[in-house]
């Protein structure tokens, strides 16, 4: 069983009232959000985003190293001026170490994934600080780009800044 038939049914419903077919390509609110792929975090709803508002770049952990290519495109080709980093409580990235991920791949499918840095982190707040610092020190991210880092609480739906 695949989820695709359900997706297509939901999309028919979505498209039946869709009226945003003329939005410009560059994000209207000139912001890129980097967020974890966690299923409990819905950046659009948690941040009040509509179609056309923002780039939302998602990966395991919401880590900016993985998102750098997209961030540079977002800023240099599509006009965004601000980056919001969103990690979250109870993140899966807190639950394993690099060697655990490599071992799981080996055990499950017999392949060597040791060339991939899975980038797990042991400290949630520090992971946000590290990502802010990574972008601030990266020459591909100009100084006039505003950078903000925060944590979304899966328990409350609230977002708090990490300083």
Q: Which residues are annotated as a binding site?
A: 36, 38, 88, 91
> Taking the complex as a whole, how short is the minimal distance between the CB of residue 61 and Zn ion, in angstroms?
6
Do the strands 146-152 and 82-88 form a parallel or antiparallel pair, or are they unpaired?
parallel
| 112, 59 Cβ separation under 8 angstroms | no
Minimum gap (Å) between residue 88 Cβ and Zn ion? 5
Q: What residues form the annotated binding site for Zn(2+)?
A: 36, 38, 88, 91
Q: How many alpha carbons lie under 13 Å from residue 118 in its C-beta half-sphere?
A: 20
Q: Is 27 or 152 the residue whose CB approaches Zn ion more closely? A: 152
Binding site for Zn ion (CB under 5 A): 36, 38, 91
Least distance from Zn ion to the Cβ atom of residue 52, Å: 26
Q: H helices within 17-160, ranges in order?
A: 43-47, 64-76, 98-109, 124-136
Closest to Zn ion by CB, 145 or 154: 154
The position carrying tokens 């499950």 is: 108
Output 94 or 113, the one with its CB closest to Zn ion: 94
């Amino acid at each position: 069983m695949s989820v695709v038939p359900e997706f297509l049914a939901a999309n028919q419903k979505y498209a039946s009232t869709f009226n945003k077919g003329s939005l410009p390509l560059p994000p209207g609110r000139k912001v890129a959000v980097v967020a974890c792929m966690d299923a409990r975090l819905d950046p659009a709803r948690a941040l009040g985003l509509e179609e056309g508002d923002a780039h939302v770049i998602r990966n395991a952990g919401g880590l900016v190293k993985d998102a750098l290519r997209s961030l540079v495109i977002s800023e240099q080709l599509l006009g965004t001026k601000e980056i919001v980093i969103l990690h979250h409580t109870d993140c899966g990235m807190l639950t394993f170490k690099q060697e655990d991920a490599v071992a799981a791949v080996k055990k499950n499918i017999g392949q060597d994934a040791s060339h991939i840095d899975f980038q797990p982190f042991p400290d949630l707040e520090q992971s946000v600080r590290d990502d802010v610092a990574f972008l601030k020190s990266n020459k591909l991210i100009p100084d006039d780009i505003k950078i903000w880092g925060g944590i979304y609480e899966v328990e409350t739906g609230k977002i708090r800044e990490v300083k």
